[in-house]
Amino acid sequence: MTQIELMSKPKFERFFLRIGIFFSSLPLKLSLFFRNFPFFLKKVGSKLIKPFEVLNDAFINGDWKTRLSFLFCGFGQIFNKQVVYGIINFLFEVCFIVYMCLVGVPWISKFGTLGIPTDEIGNACDVYINDITGTEFYDCHGNTNDSRFIILYSLITIFFMICMLYVWYSSIRKAKLLQDYNVIGKKETDKDVTKTFVSRNYDKTLLAVPLTGVIVFTVLPLVFMILIAFTNYSSEFNGSKLVFNWVGLQNFANMAGLGAGYETFLPTMLKILVWTLIWAFFATFTNYFLGMIVALLINQKAVKLKKLWRTVLITTIAVPQFVSLLLINKMIQDNGIINNLLQQWGIISSPIRFLSDAMIARVMVIVVNMWVGIPYTMLICTGILLNIPEDLYESARIDGASPLKMYMKITLPYMLFVTTPYLIQQFVGNINNFNVIYLLTQGGPLTQTYAAGAGQTDLLITWLYKLTMTNASKDYAMSSVIGIIVFCVVAFISLIFYSKSKSVKNEEEFQ
């Protein structure tokens, strides 16, 4: 069936036809995947082998300057008129050696055991075992080993080693390239290299600082969190008890309900995950469509005092969000102003349990989030609506299209095309929306069927916070497992939906 024939079908029939086409083409897609898989492996293998080929060529066919770069980074460049960049590479190597001797090796040598528990004068620490969980921990009475710092400095050392490996490889490759240039009579000086940073490699120059920030403030904490998930780190290891151990996949088994004392973790996690996705869906699309409708109403020619209505809505943004949420929390208490007024007016005979009934509490957080989020969407949609060509609407009116038809065929497709990245960002942000949930309901109402103090309006992110900050026994390792789950969910949704959106596929045009 051609695309034209498919689009001519009714929407309901078209939906099932697409499903049928997908499953009927699945065997062909699988056969193409397995047929192309060897070529994919070959392509990946060639890229992995290429650096070794470059090093082999430099060692066998390189002159003494190039071979000297195997021991001293930058020497091949220094002797080939690239003095400044050669000295920079050599100084980086010197700094690396000094760092490894003074800091790197002492820390990374403890990475396998996360520190040998001894006190300040070298005596072995007292070993204790928790009677309930069976966790082994140490009391070192001033222990100088700290497993947290061992992991952190080991990660920094590994990162430094990767950077050194790249500088070493680049220095050798550049030395061999300069040697080849000398053969053909071509010269490349420091001035020529500097020019490339503002011409051919300008993108790398601009991205250098942001990339460094991403590595330091995003990648490094993420890897640290992942490694903590493979330890038994909890509040038992605070104070002088700083040495904890690797436990492998035990925390993931506990999350799956296979560990002693963790039988209710898997049902709790699944229920919270489902509620997190439901919350993110409604919190995103209620704000989006209602904000768009508000923007459309204010933009109508018949509406007067447009600036006033926009100012009134923007006022809700000017008030700090935590102030609004804490105030609303007080208003919807059983003895709050809303219940008191409704009872005085005779509308209700007993207080509405806004915070103690699970279903009502979930509806409330979605409704309150609309109060917080609609003004933002209204502002964004207002700017986009003003950029939709008026000719489209004029043509539609001439053809006799109704306002609803114009909205469905012109306004909504245009808005979705422009705002799809914003929608994805909002959805992902709502998965991690800590403020609205915690400040309004503190994750409640609580229930004994949930594990580790989780409540029925808790998201994964608020449950993680409770595990690490408010529970009596702070389980940092299990919190890291939840953090990995959140990361996987967010990464999956972001990559899949963004790559499939028309904003990416048809970036240059609107259809």
Residue 406: is its pLDDT beyond 70?
yes
For residue 116, the model assigns a pLDDT of 65
Residues 219 and 294 in one domain: no
Residue 318: is its pLDDT beyond 90?
no
| Residue 442 domain flag | yes
> Nearest CA to 462 among 491, 440, 447, 477?
440
Distance CA 484, CA 490 (A): 10
Residues 230 and 306 in one domain: no
Q: Identify the DSSP state of 118.
A: B
**Chain centre to alpha carbon of residue 303:** 42
Residues 447 and 328 in one domain: yes
Residues 164 and 31 in one domain: no
Residues 244 and 270 in one domain: no
CATH number at residue 494: 1.10.3720.10
| Residue 158 domain flag | yes
Domain boundary (222, 248, 274) is at: 248
For residue 120, the model assigns a pLDDT of 46
| Residue 235 domain flag | yes
Residues 72 and 45 in one domain: no
Q: Which of 221-235, 308-322, 358-372 has the lowest mean pLDDT?
A: 308-322
Mean pLDDT for all residues in the chain: 83
For residue 72, the model assigns a pLDDT of 92
Q: How many domains is the chain built from?
A: 3
| Residue 510 domain flag | no
For residue 240, the model assigns a pLDDT of 47
| Residue 329 domain flag | yes
Residues 223 and 269 in one domain: no
Domain boundary (248, 281, 313) is at: 248
For residue 7, the model assigns a pLDDT of 55
Q: What is the pLDDT of residues 414-439, one digit of tens each?
A: 888 888 888 888 888 899 888 889 98
> Averaged over 97-101, what is the pLDDT?
95
Residues 243 and 271 in one domain: no
Distance CA 64, CA 241 (A): 54
Q: What is the pLDDT of residues 84-95, one digit of tens each?
A: 989 999 999 999
Q: What is the pLDDT of residues 249-258, one digit of tens each?
A: 988 998 888 8
> Averaged over 466-488, what is the pLDDT?
85
Q: Specify which of 189-203, 303-317, 451-465 reaches the highest per-range mean pLDDT.
A: 451-465
> Averaged over 348-363, what is the pLDDT?
90
For the chain, percent of residues with pLDDT exceeding 70: 85
Domain boundary (248, 280, 302) is at: 248
For residue 280, the model assigns a pLDDT of 92
> Averaged over 372-380, what is the pLDDT?
86
Residues 358 and 469 in one domain: yes
What range does the domain containing 39 cover? 3-50
- Burial tier of 168 (Cβ tally within 10 Å: 0-12, 13-18, 19+): buried
Residues 243 and 298 in one domain: no
| Residue 258 domain flag | no
Q: Which of 227-241, 328-342, 388-402 has the lowest mean pLDDT?
A: 227-241
Residue that the structure tokens 């400040």 belong to: 439
| Residue 259 domain flag | no
Q: Which of 13-17, 163-167, 224-228, 345-349 has the lowest mean pLDDT?
A: 13-17
Residues 32 and 127 in one domain: no
Residues 213 and 130 in one domain: yes
| Residue 413 domain flag | yes
